[in-house]
Structure 1
C-alpha cells in the first residue's frame, strides 16, 4: 500500500520532537495543518512559523497524517481519548514517535479505520533546526502492520532517515537500548567534565570533545564490524 502526493500533516505535541518531524516532512513537500500548544510554543513557532495552534481534536480532524509526539505515559490515554470523541478518521495515517511502543498502542485509532504507524528517529532531539541535519544521517525504527509497513518506511525516508524494521514484541528491548546509549553517554560526560572542572580546566566540554568523539566513533565502528581490531 503506497500513497502519492502531498499530505496535510497535523502535530499533537509541541515539545522537542513533534515540530522537528513536522519540519522535516514539510521539507519533503507536505503541508502542516496545525499543531497543539506545548511546553515551548516559541521554539515550536520558530521551527514551524505560521502554523496555526489548535486543540488536539481539531488537529486530528484537519489532517490526513497525524504525528503524535507526546510523553510516553500520555500516549495511550491521548489516543483512546481522541477515539472516544470520534476524532480518528477512516484511512487517516496516525504516527507516533515513542521508542517503547509499537503500533499496538494506536489500536483505538485503528479500530476506527485509521492506519497505525510507529516511527522513532534515533537521535537526541534539541528541538532546533540542528536536528534536521542530524536526521539526514540517522536511522529510524519503524513498526506497523505488514500491509502498511511500506508507508512507515517511506515516511522515515522523507524525514531523512534510513528505516529499520523493529518487530512489535521487540520495541521494549529497542527502547532499553536507546535509553542505555543516551543516558550512559550523558552521565559519563557529566562525570568527566566535573572532574576536569575540579582541576581547573575552564572549558571541560571543549577539552573532551575530540576525545569523546573519536572514542565513540571507534566503539561504533567496532560494533558495526565484528572483524575490526579492538580499540587500544
Structure 2
C-alpha cells in the first residue's frame, strides 16, 4: 500500500485516485479548488480530506499531479520552493505532452519523477473506472523506477507503453489528432445530417462510424471507402455545394480531410492522379470561397 496525494482533482485525477484506492492504496488527501472538483471528490473519494496543494504533497509518499499541461511546471516549482516535495518521494504527472523534464525541480531535491498518461478520455464519473481496464498508459521514468511504475499501472488495470522522453510530444499529438479531432468531425457530421432531416443523427452515424473505426484500426488506409477513393468528382462537387450553402464553417475541415484522403489514396494506387488533381482543384476553390469576405449564397449555387 502506498500513501497517495492528489493535486488537481479534475476528471482524470479523481478517477485515477478512486481506482488506486480500490486497489488498496491509501488516498491521504486531495486538492481541488473548483466546485466541480469538490463534487467529484465527494462522489469518487468519500472521506478523503481536501487540502492545499503543498499540504497534500507533504502528507504523501506518491504525489499524483493531474493539473493542466501549461500549469504543471509552475506547480512543481512552487511546491519544491515551499519544501513540500522531498527526497525519495514519487512525483507522478499525467500529462501526455510532458515527460520528465517538467519535473526537473523535483528531481533536483531527490524525488523520483514519473510521467504516466492514460490514453483515454474521461467523464470524471464512476463510468470511467471500468474504462481503465486495458487502457494503455504512456509512461516515462528512470530505469530504477520501472518496476514501481509498472505495478502502479497494473493496479489501475492498465497496460504500460514506454515512451522515450524526446517522443512524448509526438505520442500526445497522435492521441489528440485521433481523439480530439474525431469529436469535431463527428459533431460536424451530425450537424449536416440534422440539416438533412435526420431525427436522430447519432443513431444514424453510430453503426457506420463504429464499423469504419474498427476497420481502420485493423486495416489502416485499406479501410478507406467513399467518393474520394472512387474518384467521384461530381459527388465531391455536390458535397461542397450543399455544405457551402448549409454549413460553410464545415468546409475547411472537409477540405483538409478530403485532401489528406486523396493523397493517401493516390499513394496506395486506389485513386488515379488525374482524378486526384480534379478533386483537389474543387477543394481549393471551395476553400477560397469560404475564406473570402464576399461569400454569398449565390456564389455556391453558381459553382460549375
Give matches, 1:149-160, under 5 Å.
149-160=146-157
Matched residue, 2:8 = 13
**Deviations, residues 7-61 of structure 1 (Å, cap 9, x unaligned):** 1111000111100110111111101111112331212321111211100011001
Matched residue, 1:104 = 101
1:95 pairs, out of 89, 92, 97, with: 92
Structure 1 unaligned spans of 5+ = 1-5
Give matches, 1:45-194, under 5 Å.
45-194=42-191
Give the number of the structure whose residues are more often helix, by fraction: 2
SS of alignment partner, residue 133 of structure 1: helix
Q: Number of residue pairs matched?
A: 223
Matched residue, 2:29 = 34
Q: In structure 1, how many angstroms separate the alpha carbons of the residues matched to 2:25 and 2:199? A: 46
Answer yes or no: is the 8 Å Cα contact 1:9–1:65 preserved in 2: yes
Question: Where do 4+ consecutive residues of structure 1 move more than 6 Å?
Answer: none
Pair member with larger Rg: 2
SS of alignment partner, residue 48 of structure 2: coil
* Higher RCO structure, 1 or 2 (CA under 8 Å, sep 6+): 1
Q: In structure 2, how many angstroms separate the alpha carbons of the residues matched to 1:44 and 1:222? A: 42
Q: CA RMSD in A?
A: 1.5
SS of alignment partner, residue 113 of structure 2: strand
Q: In structure 2, how many angstroms separate the alpha carbons of the residues matched to 1:199 and 1:230? A: 26
Q: In structure 2, how many angstroms separate the alpha carbons of the residues matched to 1:55 and 1:37? A: 8
Answer yes or no: is the 8 Å Cα contact 2:212–2:223 preserved in 1: no
Answer yes or no: is the 8 Å Cα contact 1:118–1:152 preserved in 2: no
SS of alignment partner, residue 35 of structure 1: strand
Matched residue, 1:25 = 20
SS of alignment partner, residue 89 of structure 1: coil
Deviation at 1:231, TM superposition (A): 5.3
**Deviations, residues 82-128 of structure 1 (Å, cap 9, x unaligned):** 00000112211110000000122111111112111100010011111
SS of alignment partner, residue 34 of structure 1: strand
